[in-house]
Amino acid sequence: MSFDAIIIGAGMGGLMAGARLARAGRRVLILEANAHIGGTSYIFRRRGFAFPMGPLSFSYPDRVEALLDGAGAGGRLSFRRNHFQLLTPRLDIVYSRPPAVLKEDLRRAFPLEGEGLDRFFDELAALFVLIRDIDRRHPDYALRAGRGAAGPAGDAGFAARISRIRDLGRASSRELLEPLIRDADLRNLLGSMGTDPPRMSLLNLAFMWASMSEIGIWFPSIGIHGICDRLAAAVGEGGGEIRLRRPAAHILVEGGRAAGIRTADGEEFRAPVVIANADSKKTFLDLLDPADVPPAHLEAVRRTPYTGSELCVYLGLDASRVDWTRMRAEHLFFQKVSGAADDPASDSEDFDGREIEICRWSENAPDVAPPGKAVVVLRAGSEFRLFEDWRTGDRTRKEGYREVKARLARNLVRTAEAALPGLSAAVEVLEAATPLTYRDWGRRTAGSIAGWSWSAEAAESLPSKILVETPIPGLFMAGIYAATELFLGGVPTALFTGSLAAAAALAYRA
């Protein structure tokens, strides 16, 4: 069986690459391991409620519209802005505001930090200019940065800006914030948009605040899964094919070049171009023969960490039984005061004292819940290693796992109830996902959620900021792991790298 391009995975990135290639007249085959398209941008239904497996909302709506147009999946979309609130024992603030407004809110809450806040927001404004300029004029900046190219003719400042971008990727936000801000709670809010100490690189910090405060985070009128549906339709219209429940097990390399794939059931499909929408670790460490990958690349992929995973509880609720007063935005990052040590209910699986996210997702799309009902998603960061021992194979678990999951879900609901009184009694449907779910259903290495690690040290050894092109000719990457930073946020970065992968594949001569 022979094609022009084979794509491993029908997530956002794979579908975008497939739609663009099919539109350009290429014979495309997309092989998807799961029984559905959309990857983590998938929704599942339970007793009248719909729940999102992954993304709740995203940034850069204009870019998303333009990318969909370019793939033949366009058409008018409208977007609804989402807002973000932090609620801790000390702070209650909606921080998804323009920087000048946010700064004034923070000056009122922290009157002794005025000078530090001025300097932080000045610094942020300068970073915004840099990333806006780079993003607008050189959307593929990082591709060139990795190769040290000079950039467009006549643009004398290009190389200097690229070099500054690379420095920001190495600089830590903690080093910026510690001398400026004395109050740890304020420092954490500015450095993580929550209660965690600042750890990410300055580059990630700039991308994160640009999305949150300037561009905004939005929800599309067709739902996030609706974007995947449109792209899948465009693949079909271009004559491309999507096969579900067909995991790729091995990428064939011949004469040093990509030559096709072998599925888990042993069938071979040949093509001069392979695009992997599977994450990078899975692609290079599992799907390729190590002898086909330059050792330095293999080592960089092995050594560079991913972001962590999470525990997630999906709730279908009777909305009238919940007191929503304290929740002033669609997304609430909430930290409950730690339970008393002698509280019989508190144990090591407790979420008191930890930051959790509460999202009233049905505010975006009322049709995901029956009339009078609501969908709420609760999330808490969680480590894969704490769950790993329960896994016996693909989607199989040791006895007792179900009970552990149910207990964790109950604890998370109980913690969230301190922000939303009445929550437990309002629950009609409850589902839970753990890092193992993101590993086996999301098919992400170690259940990782948000791409490569955001820390300053992490991406240093990777060869360039955009990882669409690989050391193996004919093999390209698409999706959020095809960029070292989620420079447009999750969904748009997945679409953008999918589009870049298609462009690179079209330019490739085997």
Q: Is 31 in the site for ligand FAD (CB under 6 A)?
A: yes
Q: According to CB under 6 A, which residues from 419 to 438 bind ligand FAD?
A: 438
| Torsion sign across C-alpha atoms 390, 391, 392, 397 | positive
Selected binder of ligand FAD within 6, 8, 21, 193 (CB under 6 A): 8
Q: Is 61 in the site for ligand FAD (CB under 6 A)?
A: no
Selected binder of ligand FAD within 3, 23, 34, 142 (CB under 6 A): 34
DSSP 3-state of 338: coil
Q: According to CB under 6 A, which residues from 450 to 479 bind ligand FAD?
A: 450, 479
Integer Cα distance of 444 and 452 in angstroms = 12
Question: The tokens 């050792």 sit on which residue?
Answer: 295
Selected binder of ligand FAD within 19, 491, 504, 505 (CB under 6 A): 491
Residue 278 CB, nearest distance to ligand FAD (Å)?
3
Q: Which stretch binds ligand FAD (CB under 6 A): 11-19, 162-170, 176-184, 413-421?
A: 11-19
Residue 314 CB, nearest distance to ligand FAD (Å)?
11
Selected binder of ligand FAD within 4, 19, 22, 32 (CB under 6 A): 32
Q: Which stretch binds ligand FAD (CB under 6 A): 72-80, 158-166, 295-303, 490-498?
A: 490-498
Nearer to ligand FAD, 117 or 227 (CB): 227
Integer Cα distance of 460 and 150 in angstroms = 21
Strands (E), 351-472: 355-360, 373-382, 391-393, 396-397, 427-433
Residue 33 CB, nearest distance to ligand FAD (Å)?
4
Nearer to ligand FAD, 31 or 134 (CB): 31
Q: Which stretch binds ligand FAD (CB under 6 A): 26-34, 231-239, 315-323, 418-426?
A: 26-34
Q: According to CB under 6 A, which residues from 275 to 314 bind ligand FAD?
A: 277-278, 282
Selected binder of ligand FAD within 468, 480, 502, 505 (CB under 6 A): 480
- At 326, list the tokens: 């304290």
Nearer to ligand FAD, 28 or 31 (CB): 31
Integer Cα distance of 187 and 309 in angstroms = 24
Integer Cα distance of 400 and 14 in angstroms = 36
- Count Cβ atoms within 10 A of the Cβ of residue 418 and give its class: 0-12 exposed, 13-18 middle, 19 or more buried: middle
- Measured from each CB, the residue nearest to ligand FAD is 11
Q: Is 12 in the site for ligand FAD (CB under 6 A)?
A: yes
Rounded to 5 degrees, what are φ and ψ at 160?
-65, -40
How far, in Å, are 36, 217, 366 from residue 375 at the CA level? 22, 19, 9
Supply the angle between the helices 490-507 and 61-70 in degrees, to the nearest 10: 30
- At 337, list the tokens: 């005061």
Q: What is the CA radius of gyration of the chain?
A: 23
Q: Which residues of 91-106 are buried (b: 16+ CB within 10 A; e: fewer)?
A: bebbbbbebeebbeeb
Q: According to CB under 6 A, which residues from 194 to 253 bind ligand FAD?
A: 247-248
Nearer to ligand FAD, 14 or 146 (CB): 14
Positions in the binding site for ligand FAD (CB under 6 A): 8-14, 31-34, 39-41, 54-58, 247-248, 277-278, 282, 438, 442-444, 449-450, 479-480, 489-491, 494
